[in-house]
Amino acid sequence: MSVPSLFTFTLILRQRRAAIWGPWAQRTQRLSLSWGPLLWAAGKRSSLDLVELSETELKEQFVRGDGPGGQATNKTSNCVVLKHVPSGIVVKCHQTRSVEKNRQIAREILQEKVDLFYKGEDSDVYREKKASEKKKQEKKRRAKENLERKKHLKEMLQLDRK
């Protein structure tokens, strides 16, 4: 194949490839992702300052059985049992049908429990819970006050009519 025709062929090939991928064929900068299966620390609760759990302190159990696993098994028990060895706290998670998600959620819950265990009232988890309880009580009190005020107003109006 001569050089010019090879060049044309490559050009056609690249154009065809661009056509296959449609309008998204423009070269764009890739976003870098920092999450990986071993980076459990980055979770929903990054706003709270919690004790970090090291994987070496954790013991995980799955109901997967002793069999070969993988393709040879089709078990649906995705429950994850996670233990923090130093404190002895155990979390059982079967919130979702995905093992990976259950592992992640188990770690989040365990992290909160361990933080509470070691820090007690100093724990952000404890403080957040107290704050939300206080808010609830405030809301109830205000609702009660409103109700009383309306009742009082109603009574006043009825007296006026008489």
Partner 1 sequence: MKCLTPSLLRRFWRLLPQYVSAGPSQSPNLSPKQSSLRQSCSARPGLLTAPDVVSYWQKVFEKNGIPEARESSEYIVSFVLGAKTFQSLDSEKLHAPLTAAQQEQIQQLSCKRLERMPVQYVLGEWDFQDLTLKMRPPVFIPRPETEDLVSLVVEEESRKCGVKNSAFPVAVPPPVILEIGCGSGAIALSLLRKIPQSRVLAVDKEEAAVDLTRENIHRLQLQDRIHVLHHNVSYGSAKHLLPWGPMDFIVSNPPYVFHEDMASLDAEILRYEDLDALDGGDDGMRVIKTILTLAPSLLKDSGSVFLEVDPRHPGMVEDWLRAHPDLLLTLHAVHKDFCGKPRFLHIQKQSK
Q: How far is the CB of 136 from partner 1 (least distance, A)?
A: 17
In this structure, what token pair is assigned to residue 26?
């423009």
Task: Tell me the C-alpha distance between 162 and 56, whole Å.
Answer: 79
Report which DSSP code applies to 160: H
Residue 97 interacting with partner 1 (CB under 8 A): yes
For every residue of 108-152, DSSP letters joined together read: HHHHHHHHHHHHGGGSHHHHHHHHHHHHHHHHHHHHHHHHHHHHH
Does 1 interact with partner 1 (rule: CB under 8 A)?
Answer: no
For the bound state, the minimum distance from the C-beta of residue 22 to partner 1, rounded and expressed in Å, comes to 7
* Stretch 66-85 residues interacting with partner 1 (CB under 8 A): 68-78
How many residues form the binding site for partner 1 (CB under 8 A)?
42
* CA separation for the pair 123, 142 (Å, rounded): 29
Question: Which of 62, 56, 150 is CA-nearest to residue 106?
Answer: 62
Q: Which residue, 62 or 126, has its beta carbon nearer to partner 1?
A: 62
Contact string 35-54 vs partner 1 (x = CB under 8 A): xxx-----------------
Residue 113 as a binder of partner 1 (CB under 8 A): the answer is no
Residues at the interface with partner 1 (CB under 8 A): 13, 16-17, 20-22, 24, 27-37, 60, 62, 64, 68-78, 93-101, 103
